[in-house]
Structure 1
Amino acid sequence: MTAGARQDNRLTELLRTNTGTVIEKWVGAAAALLRGRATQAELTIDFRELFQLVLPLAGQDGRDISGPAFGEVRSFLQEYSRSRVRGGFTPSETASSVFSLKHEAFALVENGDDPNLFRQALAFSALLDALGLWTFEAFSRAREEIIREQSEQLLELTTPVVKIWEGVLAVPLVGTLDSARTQVVMEKLLEMLVETGSEHAIIDITGVFAVDTQVAQHLLKTVVAARLMGAECIVSGIRPQIAQTIVALGIEFGDIVTKASLADALRHALRRDGVDVVRREVV
């Protein structure tokens, strides 16, 4: 190894020699920033792994971290950011965990008089800046992905398809009906029609806040999809206010059966199957 190569690696050697002290102070600074929301033991595990990944990169140009040499550290920071999203941390707190290592690196060279060592410290600082910004972006991507996953899960939970009688399915809708939700309703309803062999499907809109032209179109699409599967569709939950709105908007439901309540819709479906519901007097 040449003298120049040894000189170029001085910061790396300093960091490696003082690993324990650097990580301890780094963890302490981050723990103070997080105000007890992460234990020092947890931070030590994460920071030690990150330190071991960053250490070999100390002598590299960090202005572009998209290359294969930075693949491992990018993967680590991506998972680290995702765990911080689930832990309720902010993107600034997450990125600061990377940025705060700069202070400890500069502390190692602040009393030195070697300009090459100081230049390498500046380059290392630039590398940490790039990694910190990448962490911030990874946090934002992970948060958007988690929000999207949670939205999809919530959408599944708020659009149940239930079997309420032999051959009769019901879809109780609550809230706002939009294109994305209509698609979920269609898919789940059609799957259940095939799975159960039901011939009647009741779409109950008692919990739908308002019905406009767009909502009506979504309902009609769902009804048509069910009919193509050979099932009769009944729309229930037509309250007086919604009936007035439908008339005022000139919305035509055509030959679709509509009922005021889910009970009325179920009674209609049972009668179509030759089943009469009779109130029995209690003696």
Structure 2
Amino acid sequence: MLRANADAIADRWVQLQLEQAVLGSDLTESELHEEADALVAALASALGGDVPVQRLAHGDQDLNRIVTDLSLRRARGGASPTVTSLAVLALKQALLESVRGTTGESDGLLAVALLINQLLDAAGALSFEVYVEGREAIIHRQSHQLLEMSTPVVRLWRQVLAVPLIGTLDTARTQVVMENLLQAIQDDEALVAIIDITGVPTVDTAVAQHLMQTVKAVRLMGADCVISGIRPPIAQTIAQLGIDLSTILTRATLADALAAAIKITDAPGPDGTDGR
């Protein structure tokens, strides 16, 4: 039935998706037809193999690939996982209508209906699973890109770099800060790195530990580290927590930290030209 009525089934599936508004993405009608033709052909081919029906969606390589591509395409287009699964399950109706027009035997119709349910329920579950994994990968990649953008390394002066931090400082962000800063120190042959925490709302034990680790890593690269932006409330919190920052050079403002960095590097003052 699939081989004989492949075009009609694919067209009916596209029609059902359009009627039921289960797209949820910007796919065009021609793209839907290409998608439908490929999936119906893969179903017909898979049913001719030795893999059990309930495992076809996962066990048949071509069918698995087509369902996976369908889910990822719709995930990138902004469709929800429920809508994506419903789009796959809409194929049930198209198949059942075609079977009903092919056979009039109730027993045969029931057997094929059960087979279709087993096959497409598994395909729908696979599409949901792939969608969730795809969206998680997209979110992870976007989160990493946001971390990169939120932790810029700025060249303030010759051999002097700065990292202005804004917002909460956690383990993941500290790792990005450390990697970006160490790479910039190597690239610019910097002697001083300023970590400005003016935009960090609170400093607790965890944040202090993260800062200490970053300072140690900077020193291992042969550079000095200055922490600026130590406002009175943060200074009180650090003192109350008993956090020892005595081994780290600290300044109240970024300007003070830059002045200290210039002294460390013996760079010319603002009237000179070598350090500009």
- 2:260 alignment counterpart: 268
Determine helix, strand or coil for the equivalent of 1:17: coil
Give 2:71's match in structure 1, choosing from 64, 68, 81.
Answer: 81
Matches within 5 A, 1:195-210: 195-210=187-202
The amino acid across from 1:50 in the alignment is L
1:156: Cα distance to partner?
1.1
Structure-2 residue corresponding to 1:125: 117
The letter of the residue matching 1:62 is V
- One-letter amino acid matched to 1:100: A
Q: Does 1:18 align with 2:10?
A: no
Which of 202, 217, 226 is the aligned partner of 1:234? 226
Identity rate, percent: 43
Which amino acid counterpart does residue 46 of structure 1 have in structure 2?
E
Q: Does 1:53 align with 2:42?
A: yes
Q: What SS class does the counterpart of residue 110 from structure 1 fall into? A: helix
Unaligned runs of 5+ in 1: 1-13
Give the corresponding residue for 2:22.
34
Greater CA deviation, 163-172 or 111-120?
111-120
Root mean square deviation, CA, Å: 2.1
* Greater alpha carbon shift after TM alignment, 78-87 vs 56-65: 56-65
Per the alignment, residue 72 of structure 1 pairs with: 62
- With structure 1 as the length reference, what TM-score do the two structures score? 0.87
| Separation of aligned partners in 1, 2:120 and 2:270 | 76
Give the counterpart letter for 2:64 in structure 1.
R
- Verify the 8 A CA contact 2:228 2:257 in the aligned structure 1: yes
What are the residue-to-residue correspondences of 1:219-258 with 2, within 5 Å? Answer: 219-258=211-250
Q: Which amino acid aligns with 2:2?
A: L
Residue segments in structure 2 that go unaligned for 5+ positions in a row: none
**Structure 2 CA distance for aligned equivalents of residues 176 and 166 of structure 1:** 29
Number of matched pairs = 266
Aligned counterpart for 1:62 among listed residues 47, 53, 60 = 53
CA contact (8 A) 1:62 1:130 kept: no
d(CA) in 2 for partners of 1:20, 1:226: 65
Which residue is 1:98 aligned to? Answer: 88
1:279 Cα deviation (Å)? 8.0
Alignment-derived partner of residue 251 in structure 2: 259
| 3-state SS of paired residue (1:64) | helix
Cα contact 2:68–2:127 (8 A) shared by 1: yes
CA-to-aligned-CA distance 1:102-159 (integer Å, 9 cap, x gap):
1111112225333345423421331111111111111111111111111111111111
After TM superposition, the score normalised by the length of structure 2 is 0.89
Deviation at 1:36, TM superposition (A): 7.4
For the residues of structure 1 that align with 2:78 and 2:93, how far apart are their CA atoms?
Answer: 26
Contact 2:197/2:227 (8 A) holds in 1:
yes
Query: CA shift at 1:35, angstroms?
Result: 6.4
Contact 2:152 2:164 in 1 (8 A): yes
Q: 1:57 and 1:278 mapped to 2: Cα distance?
A: 75
In structure 2, the residue matched to 1:109 is 99
Pairwise mapping of residues 179-198 of structure 1 onto structure 2 (< 5 A)? 179-198=171-190
CA distance in 2, matches of 1:101, 1:66: 14
Q: Is the contact made by 2:2 and 2:40 (CA closer than 8 Å) also made in structure 1? A: no
Letter in 2 for 1:93: V
Greater Cα offset, 38-47 or 261-270: 38-47
* Partner amino acid, structure 2, of 1:34: V
Cα distance change of structure 1 residues 226 and 36 upon mapping to structure 2, 3 Å threshold: closer
| 1:202 match: secondary structure | strand
Q: 2 CA distance for matches of 1:264 and 1:65?
A: 67
